[in-house]
Each structure stands twice: as C-alpha cells, then as structure tokens.
C-alpha cells in the first residue's frame, strides 16, 4: 500500500485536568490507530492555571512547552488547533480568542455555560472561518454508527418512538465535593448541559431534529462540601469540609416531539444511585426496534420484522470489524472497546477535518442545535408548558 505523506498538526490543550489528560493521550496515540491516514498530532503546548498540572501534562505527554496562562497557547505559532477542556465558564473567552487568532477549535460540551454563550461561540467561530469539533464522543461507538446507518437505510422504517436517557451517579454521594459542575457561576446549567446534551445530540444523530419539548428540573442534593481548588475531580469526596449551596439542577426530565412526527421521552440525572454511566437509546420504527446502553457499549439489541415469525424477536449484535472503526482497534469480534477509544476516534475526525480543510460533524453547528433544545427545556421550567425549539436570543 502506498503511504500517504504525513500531515502534522500542532495541538494546544487548555485545561489539564482529567479530560485534558484524556485528549492529550488520545492525540498522541491517534496516528498509530489510524496509521494509514497520514495524519499526526504535534503536541505543541499545554496550559493549566495550576502549575503542577501544566508541568505534569508536559512531562507525561511530551508537549514542547507548558504555561499557566492559556493565552500563551493561542499565541504559540506552532499551535494550529486548540483543544478546550477547561471549565464551562472559560469556554466563551478562550474560544472567541482562538477564533480571532484563526485557530481551529475543539471544545468539550456544552461549549459555554448556557445556550446564549453557545450561540455566541458558534457565531464567532463561523465568522472567523475556523473549523470546529465538540465532545459528543458517544456518537463514535461502532454499534451506534451501525444503528445510524440502519436508520438511514430505512431498515427500521419510519421512526415512531424514541426514549433517551443518561443516568449517572457521580453526584449521588451527599459528601461529594462542590466542584465547579454544581455551581451555576462556573458550570451554568447542571445536568441539562452536562448529561442531557449527550441525550439530545444522540437523538439528533439518530432520529433527526426536535420540534418542541416540555420539561421539568429538580435538585435532590442541595448542599455539598467545598472543594479544594486545583485538587481532585467531580468524583472527589470530603465529608469534613464546610458546605455550600448547589446552584444548578441534578435532574431533568422531558417529553418531546420530533419534526418527523416521532414522540420521545428524555431524562438525565447525575445523582441516580447505582447507574454509573447509563447513556441509553431505545428506538421503535414501523419495521423494527434497536436499543443501546453505553454501559454495554460493544453491543446493541436489534429486532427487525423480516416477514416471518420463526425468528421474530430481539437479536444481540456484537461490535465487530464490519462496523465502522472497530477494525482500527481489534481484528475480531468479542473484543471490547472503551471510553478512550471513542475519544481517539473523535480526535482522528477532528484532525482529519483540519488536514482536509472540511468541517466535521459534530461541530459547533451541532452543539448549537442541542443548545436550542436545551434552551426550550429551560424555558419550559418557567412557563410550565410546551416550548418550541427556536433560535437563541443573544
């Protein structure tokens, strides 16, 4: 096979907490998993306002330099694309500065603290003409891509019912610390931006645009121990620390109508005890049904009506090399991919987008579509009734 001349893209990562480490690791290893694509990441610059984390990131992943000021990453001539894994309240300032500097931008969701900031960031990137990516990595599970193709090919018929949820228990311990995720000042929306964003994006990815919603929120744990700045994650526990008020929502539930006429239920919760990371979709069409649960991400359940009752029932489909990108990781069925493998596929798509000069999906446009739905849900909390999905007032 003729080898393609490598395209090397300088990467800067801003925010070297857990997610920054994940992105750095995946960008470094991406060229091995996708060795025939001729794309490589040059880890040029990482930044974190906690110096120890910036230095650790540089030393662990061989970044060329590190800083405690994120502006240095954007000012670095060797950085072609910026990866933003900083807390939500920093997204708007960093992303708009990167766009103004002509840097391509990958940002973890929800790309701002609220739908208004998401819309402002999307507009800045679009007007600057830079390429964008967003962290909806669950799209990249091979059986999810398989499900999407089945639906696109009409194998499930017309979609009639969609049930989506993301239940997690990272916040279920009342002694879990008051990280930035639990504070409106820093996170903006709570589970609506953190978890429901994935539910809505998956629904868009598989079943199409959403027309209207009615929704309600709830906060179950109203106070938490104060976190120690620069230490731990949103999984950390400190029962002895003083407590302050949680200022955003733990739970969101919604009913929805799709533009294609399908009906839906959506739920997300960060304090659902016993469900570690249950991102689920269950889709019914006029010809069949498909179900998937991220906690068993390497399989899905498919039921297709083939005109015979002999085999009329659900079939378990295991991820295998016939599904997209599985073969980049394993040669045979029965092997299990994991979370960081999805982030590596995500990293590949973003770098390929930059290398080819073509906008990927999902980018900021897809994040904006999710923000419009989230905005309608938030309006429904106040109105107590159905709200149409519409453009965001900035």
pLDDT tens digits for range 343-376: 999 999 999 999 999 999 999 999 999 999 999 9
Determine the Cα–Cα distance for residues 34 and 394; give it in Å rounded to an integer.
Answer: 40
- List the single range of 220-224, 231-235, 349-353, 367-371 with lowest mean pLDDT: 231-235
Give the Cα separation of 162 and 186 in Å (integer). Answer: 32
The domains of the chain, with CATH numbers, are 7-137 (3.40.50.720), 142-296+298-335 (3.30.360.10)
Task: State both tokens at 41.
Answer: 């990441």
Among residues 79, 53, 89, the alpha carbon closest in space to that of 68 is found at 53
Q: How far apart are CA 165 and CA 273, in angstroms?
A: 15
For residues 331, 334, 335 and 339, what is the CA-based torsion angle, rounded to 10 degrees?
A: 120
Tokens standing for 80? 């072609």
The answer to whether residues 132 and 250 touch, using CB atoms and an 8 Å cutoff, is no
Q: What percent of the chain has pLDDT over 70?
A: 96
Give the C-alpha separation, 184 to 194, whole Å: 12
Residue 315's φ and ψ, nearest 5 degrees, are -120, 135
Length of the chain: 394
Distance from C-alpha of 116 to C-alpha of 68, rounded to nearest angstrom: 28
pLDDT at 310: 60
Global pTM reads 0.95
Q: Is the dihedral of CA 58, 364, 194, 97 positive or negative?
A: positive
pLDDT digits (tens, 9 = 90+) for 17-62: 999 999 999 999 999 999 999 999 999 999 999 999 999 999 999 9
């Amino acid at each position: 096979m003729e080898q393609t001349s490598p395209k090397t893209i300088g990467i800067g990562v801003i925010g070297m907490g857990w997610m920054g480490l994940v992105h750095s690791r995946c960008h470094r290893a991406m060229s091995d998993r996708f060795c025939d694509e001729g794309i490589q990441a040059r880890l040029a610059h990482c930044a974190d306002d906690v110096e120890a984390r910036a230095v650790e990131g540089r030393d662990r992943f061989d970044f060329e330099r590190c800083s405690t000021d994120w502006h240095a990453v954007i000012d670095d001539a060797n950085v072609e694309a910026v990866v933003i894994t900083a807390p939500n309240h920093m997204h708007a300032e960093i992303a708009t500065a990167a766009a103004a500097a002509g840097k391509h931008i990958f940002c973890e969701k929800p790309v701002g603290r609220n739908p208004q900031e998401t819309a402002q960031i999307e507009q800045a990137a679009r007007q600057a003409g830079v390429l964008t990516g967003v962290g909806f990595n669950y799209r990249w599970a091979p059986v999810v891509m398989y499900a999407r193709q089945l639906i696109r090919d009409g194998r499930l018929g017309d979609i009639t019912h969609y049930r989506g949820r993301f239940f997690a228990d990272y916040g279920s311990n009342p002694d879990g610390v008051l990280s930035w995720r639990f504070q409106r000042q820093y996170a903006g929306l709570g589970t609506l931006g953190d978890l429901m964003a994935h539910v809505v994006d998956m629904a868009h990815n598989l079943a199409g645009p959403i027309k209207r919603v009615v929704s309600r929120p709830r906060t179950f744990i109203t106070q938490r121990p104060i976190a120690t700045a620069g230490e731990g994650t949103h999984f950390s526990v400190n029962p002895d620390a003083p407590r302050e008020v949680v200022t955003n929502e733990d739970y969101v539930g919604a009913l929805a109508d799709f533009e294609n006429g399908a009906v839906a239920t959506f739920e997300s919760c960060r304090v659902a005890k016993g469900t570690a990371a249950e991102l689920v979709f269950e889709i019914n069409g006029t010809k069949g049904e498909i179900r998937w649960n991220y906690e068993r991400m390497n399989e899905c359940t498919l039921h297709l009506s083939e005109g015979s009752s002999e085999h009329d029932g659900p079939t378990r489909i295991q991820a295998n090399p016939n599904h997209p990108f599985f073969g980049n990781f394993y040669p045979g069925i029965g092997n299990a991919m994991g979370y960081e493998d999805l982030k590596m596929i995500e990293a590949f798509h973003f770098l390929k987008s930059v290398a080819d000069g073509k906008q990927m999906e999902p980018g900021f446009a897809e994040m904006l579509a999710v923000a419009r739905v989230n905005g309608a849900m938030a309006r429904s909390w106040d109105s107590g009734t159905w709200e149409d999905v519409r453009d965001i007032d900035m």
